[in-house]
Amino acid sequence: MDLRTIGIAVFIVSILLTVVFYIWLKLLTRKAERDGTQEIIRSYEQLAGTNKQKWKRKVYQFFQDSYVMLLRVPLIRRYVLKIRKRLQAIHAYDEYTMRRETIKIVFSTISIICVVVIVLIFVNQDFTFIFMVLLAALVVNGMLIDAFVLRVEDRLLIQLRDLLKDVRHNYHQNGMIEEAVHDSAETSSNEAALHAKKIHEVLTSNNSEEKLELYYESAPNRFLKGFAGMSFLVQEYGDKIVKEGSLYLNNLNKLAEEINLEILKRRKLNFLFKGLTAIAVFPILFTKPIENWASNQFPLMGEFYTSKMGFLTKLIIFAIVLGSYVLLKKMQDQQEGTYVSKTRKNPWELHLLKVPGVKWIVDRLTPARRTGEYFKISRLLKDANARNSIEWHYLHRFLLCLIVFVGVLISFSTMHYIAIHNVMTAPTNNSNLFGKMSIEELQNANQLTDFDSNIIYQVKGVNNEQLHDAVVQLVKQDETAFFNETLLNTTTIRILSKIQDINAEYLKWWELLISIVFGGIAYQVPLWILLFQKKMRAMDMQNETDQFHTIVAMLCEIDRMSVEVILEWMERFSNIFKDPLHKCVQNYESGAEKALEQVKLDAPFIPLVRIIERLQLSIDRIPIKQAFDDLETERKFYFDQRKQSYEEMIDAKAGWGRMIGFAPMYAVIFLYLVIPLIYMSFTQIGVYYEQINKL
């Protein structure tokens, strides 16, 4: 009994025992309910605590101990801290909860990855397949972390929506914003309550502005930032009754609309993409069963799967599966509006540029200063929020180009090695029969292969002119071939054909050209990523501008409000536009008009430019309130525009998602089975036709 059979048997027995144990437990529970024992147990549990509660406490304590222990393991420590950092904003004010949630995600991701990798390796022990699985595990691990964190973010959004309802209700009751936030925090769910308590601390602190800026750095989404900002403004300047009623409650309603729109968008995307990720990954599990079935039914297919074309097909299928998985997860990504400025403490680029020769190459690739190309790339890096210098950008492009170029060359070299290995080791079918060989025929074929390989090794290094004679002399050493002229000629031709096949397996010029082409494509990938990030950042810019609209709408209702104060508040609540606004505030006293004009040059985002232009009018021409009299109409337009763009985006993603999700299945069916089967069929027909012509 082999290892696979034992594993399957153990798995089936485990499932059966689990089912039997579950049924037995249910029967005992029902019996206890009938004879009244269950009521006695429940009354005791109310006094002493239930076993479930005790078990839960033990599990939570295990999580805490595991967190401390894993932080002592060098490799896993970085992994744990990476996940903790992702959850830091959501659980920043409850260390116990944050450790628990972090370790839950660590255990979940590692368990899922290990189980999937073990099952896949158990199904297929091929070295190439194992390498592909391990490489895919690295990518899938990051995707799983994103999925778990996004689930927590979705839960926080729903809780935040309910929190705003409670704040609105409590504000109606007592008319005090800090009391409304405090009372709402007491009745809200865990994650939202933590943030509400922190916002309450900001509102009641002696250093409210400092506390608000600290909270702004850690808030996980723009909605909490907007809620904190609006609440602080009401606390600072007081609420005001406008045409629509309370200014604060009116803005709370608009914020709730934004949250509802975001929740609906996420739910639609999750519904449309549900199951597509599994459909994209599962086909890789069927490559080995398809290979075994096709090899048993059509022996020539076995030759294809072990050939260099089979290796290339596996690489293509794996690339399609991996690419489809990554694209689907990126299409499900909900990260717009979560811009965070990142600065690395010890960047690897600095160390790499110190390597002799690397800086010289990067300097040759980087365009000269004061050229159009240099300005274009610098602007793109700024627009995409890539905190890299232009030198680092070209270093990334060079490294990716080099890695892909070498990787493709290694793939071609591996294909040549596989072809040579098959010539030297594959059973030699000398009878030109079709179908599966018997055990005796297989033994004879392996003996022929060993005989041929031995001669090929002996004639290695012999020049082409003497090769034929050398092969004949070595074949004649076999007594059977020595006395059989036909067998001698057949064997000689077969060995010479194998030598010719081996000599043909070398790195061709066109393979080098293909490697260069792929390297060139890889060289452009970082540039394409920057263009994509620029597009994604436009969403963040629009979200931040909407926040500015809310702030300005509240501030312009306050009497004796100045342009400088509005700019200070915009800077305080900004993230993406923080640098140009900070520069504007610093230079405002030197010349207001010039400082505002510089913002338009540093951040040429049209919605922001319109706000700046209105502030310019408010300096000495018209009152601030009059300059922003159509702000409500503009806000409504941008909201409707974003709502429509979300619907169009979801429809487009749904169409592309279905196509990408089923691409691996089509690739496995056609590239791994149908097309090779058709090709081998035509090859067999050609051999049949050749045999018939020889009759």
pLDDT at 398: 94
pLDDT (tens digit per residue) in 439-491: 887 888 888 889 889 999 898 888 888 888 888 888 888 777 767 788 888 88
Taking 50 as the threshold, does the pLDDT of residue 45 lie above it?
Answer: no
Strand partners, 242: 245
Residue 85 tokens, joined: 């950092």
pLDDT (average), residues 107-129: 78
Return the closest-CA partner of residue 508 out of 592, 416, 377, 643: 416
- Tell me the residue type at 359: K
pLDDT (tens digit per residue) in 290-310: 888 888 888 778 888 888 888
pLDDT at 511: 92
For residue 38, CA distances in Å to 24, 28, 210 come to 16, 10, 56
Bigger pLDDT: 299 vs 514: 514
pLDDT (average), residues 343-354: 78
Residue 387 — pLDDT band, cuts 50, 70, 90?
confident
Arithmetic mean of pLDDT over the chain: 82
pLDDT (tens digit per residue) in 238-263: 888 877 778 888 888 888 888 898 88
pLDDT (tens digit per residue) in 565-580: 889 888 877 878 888 8
Taking 50 as the threshold, does the pLDDT of residue 48 lie above it?
Answer: no
Q: Is 241 helix (H, G, I), strand (E, B) or coil?
A: strand
Taking 50 as the threshold, does the pLDDT of residue 539 lie above it?
Answer: yes
- In the chain, domain spans: 1-44, 426-503
Q: Where are the alpha helices (DSSP H) in 333-365?
A: 348-353, 358-365
Return the closest-CA partner of residue 608 out of 579, 587, 586: 579
pLDDT at 2: 57
Is pTM beyond 0.85? Reply is: no
For residue 158, CA distances in Å to 151, 260, 267 come to 11, 8, 11
Taking 80 as the threshold, does the pLDDT of residue 611 lie above it?
Answer: yes
Bigger pLDDT: 559 vs 51: 559
Residue 666 — pLDDT band, cuts 50, 70, 90?
very high
H or E stretch at 510: helix 509-555
Cβ contact 194:91 at 8 Å: yes
The rounded distance, in Å, linking the Cα atoms of 536 and 554 is 28
Taking 60 as the threshold, does the pLDDT of residue 50 lie above it?
Answer: no
461-482 b/e with 16+ CB inside 10 Å = b?
eeeeeeeeeebbebbeeeeebe
